[in-house]
Chain A
Amino acid sequence: MILKLAAPMIEIAGVSKRYGNARDVLGGVDLTVCKEEFVTLIGPSGCGKSTVLKLISGLTVPSDGTIRVDGMTPVNAREIVSYIFQDATLLPWRTVRQNVGLGLELEGVPKDRRAESITALLELVGLGHVADAYPRELSGGMKMRVSIARALATNPRLLLMDEPFAALDEMSRDRLNEELLRLRTEQKWTAVFVTHSVAEAVFLSTRIVVLAPNPGRICATLPVELPWPRTGALRETPEFEAMVAQISHALRGAISR
């Protein structure tokens, strides 16, 4: 509950989004995400989860309403934001190391200053041994790790993740979930995460926002009051199961309405 009193990282007020004359993708969304929260957006297809991320990142603009990120407009806030996509979106002509350094390179950090932080980051995500490999030599899970390392390289305060583990098998997904939480305790960024997986949402989040479609809107906001730090063993506890059941119930409500 202390988190609720913390300073806001994202303030979304009365935001709607429509493309052309079509029906609203999002209709009147209000959402505040506080610093160091891990908020997961979950909902059936077409509820506008990804659109919310696109709006927070400034990749698309709202039709109505306002969005502030750390008090700035989304485009101005990009310096403190990193985006992780569903596919790893690595540049195939660059090695792992060069891919991880992309953000710093684009932001004009000189090469010698990049090298050290990249090496440290590669060790942190367990990629030290493949630093000079090309993406096509890596498994799906390792590519995603590179993508995460690249996002963290610019030292973001806010991470936007659009179903980053959806394409992975369950074991890799669980392991990367645990690593993501470990990185979060070390680096203290705020996260907005989109997923279809209820278990993943419960495991990662401090708060889960359930969205309903036609038009996309928030139909439930549920805090996840499971203890920290969370490890793989948490998934086998009755409290975890109960939370999963609660979210699944809310999701069914979102679909049937």
Chain B
Amino acid sequence: MKRRLIVAANALGVFVALLLVWQLILWIFRVPPYMLPSPWAVAKAVEARFPSLLQSFAITAEEAVGGIVLSIGVGIGIALVFAQSRWVRRMLYPWTLLLQTVPIVAIAPLILMWMGAGIRSVTLIAFIISLAPIIANTTQGLISVDENLVHLFLMHNASPAQILFKLRLPHSVPSLFVGIRIASGIAVIGAITGELYAGSSSVGRGGLGYSILYASSQLQTDYLFALVLAATVLGFGFLFLVMFLEWYFLHKWHESARVPETE
């Protein structure tokens, strides 16, 4: 407990030091506020425009969550197909590499053209960009089952469905979570990037990405900083949520999810 307090105090100390350096730079180099606002100005911008900040935050969060939920569902489905045979994997796996290699900024305009601007398009972008790690990790988990465990199931006359749902699927959950952890980070980036291209511009419908674009065009640098802060909070929040779920589902039986001993 004491150790944790020290860790927290250290982190807080670094934060305060960074703010001080930031403020010193402003004083020494006389940076104009539209280039770099003071920490205090950013805090005031957060306070003054909190409702619209919260709204943008909620919209981007919705898109990122939508994207990741879709990619978990679709990703597990595809992985289950891939787990059926080596032949299926050889034939279809290269196509999932396409998902990883196609630059999202290149297809975002296409999606904008087909579906128009708005939450649906951005969710789709977040989904596409976060799908590959889910497929790759879940497939790996499904096929890396110990051969003797498969033999054990066969000795009890298990059906292929029983082997899939009572053996392969639970065995793949730890790797699925590795995939989700990677995907959750990319989904947030995907949602914000997606908004730069396909975000809604109608009043009160713009997410963090769209608002960042707008704030920079208006030279509202203090609000821009507030938006970047919100985006960071969103990314962190996502990661912590996934880590909590991972712990919740795995801590009873899987080594990776055990809370490390703090003396």
Report A's interface with B, CB cutoff 8 A: 57, 59, 78-79, 81-83, 85, 87, 89, 91-94, 102-103, 105-107, 134-136, 154
Assuming A91-B149, A134-B252, is B157 touching A107 (CB within 8 A)?
Answer: yes
Stretch of B89-97, B104-112, B162-170, B232-240 contacting A (4+ beta carbons < 8 Å): B162-170
When distances are taken between beta carbons in the complex, the residues of chain A under 8 Å from B166 are: 105-106
Q: How far is the CB of A186 from chain B (nearest CB, A)?
A: 22
In this assembly, does B158 line the interface, its C-beta being within 8 Å of a C-beta of chain A?
yes
Which of A57, A91, A106, A154 is within 8 Å of B170, CB to CB?
A91
Q: Can you name the residue of chain B whose Cβ is closest to the Cβ of A160?
A: B155
Please state if A81 and B155 are interface contacts (CB–CB under 8 Å).
yes
Which of A81, A89, A92 is within 8 Å of B253, CB to CB?
A92
Please state if B157 and A136 are interface contacts (CB–CB under 8 Å).
no
Please state if A106 and B153 are interface contacts (CB–CB under 8 Å).
yes
A92 to B145, CA, bound (A): 12
When distances are taken between beta carbons in the complex, the residues of chain B under 8 Å from A93 are: 170-171, 173, 252-254
Assuming A134-B252, A135-B253, is B148 touching A89 (CB within 8 A)?
Answer: yes
Q: How far is the CB of B3 from chain A (nearest CB, A)?
A: 26
A91 to B172, CA, bound (A): 12
Number of A-B pairs whose CB atoms are under 8 Å?
53
Q: How far is the CB of A143 from chain B (nearest CB, A)?
A: 13
When distances are taken between beta carbons in the complex, the residues of chain A under 8 Å from B158 are: 106
A202 to B62, CA, bound (A): 68
A sample of 5 more A-B contacts (CB under 8 A), given A89-B149, A136-B253, is A83-B151, A92-B253, A94-B253, A102-B152, A106-B162
Please state if A78 and B167 are interface contacts (CB–CB under 8 Å).
no
A70 to B254, CA, bound (A): 41
A197 to B59, CA, bound (A): 67
Please state if A106 and B146 are interface contacts (CB–CB under 8 Å).
no
In this assembly, does B156 line the interface, its C-beta being within 8 Å of a C-beta of chain A?
yes
Please state if B157 and A79 are interface contacts (CB–CB under 8 Å).
yes
A102 to B166, CA, bound (A): 10
Please state if B255 and A136 are interface contacts (CB–CB under 8 Å).
yes
When distances are taken between beta carbons in the complex, the residues of chain B under 8 Å from A136 are: 253, 255
Please state if A91 and B167 are interface contacts (CB–CB under 8 Å).
yes
When distances are taken between beta carbons in the complex, the residues of chain A under 8 Å from B241 are: none
Q: Can you name the residue of chain B whose Cβ is closest to the Cβ of A59?
A: B151
In the A-B complex, list the 8 residue pairs whose CB atoms are closest, starting with the nearest: A106-B156, A134-B253, A103-B156, A85-B148, A83-B155, A106-B158, A92-B253, A93-B253
- B130-159 to A contact mask, C-beta < 8 Å, 1/0: 000000000000000010110111111110
Please state if B156 and A59 are interface contacts (CB–CB under 8 Å).
no
Please state if B155 and A57 are interface contacts (CB–CB under 8 Å).
yes
A94 to B254, CA, bound (A): 11
Q: How far is the CB of B189 from chain A (nearest CB, A)?
A: 32
A94 to B252, CA, bound (A): 9
When distances are taken between beta carbons in the complex, the residues of chain B under 8 Å from A89 are: 146, 148-149, 152
A106 to B171, CA, bound (A): 17
When distances are taken between beta carbons in the complex, the residues of chain A under 8 Å from B157 are: 78-79, 106-107
Q: How far is the CB of A104 from chain B (nearest CB, A)?
A: 9
Please state if A107 and B156 are interface contacts (CB–CB under 8 Å).
yes
Please state if B156 and A102 are interface contacts (CB–CB under 8 Å).
yes
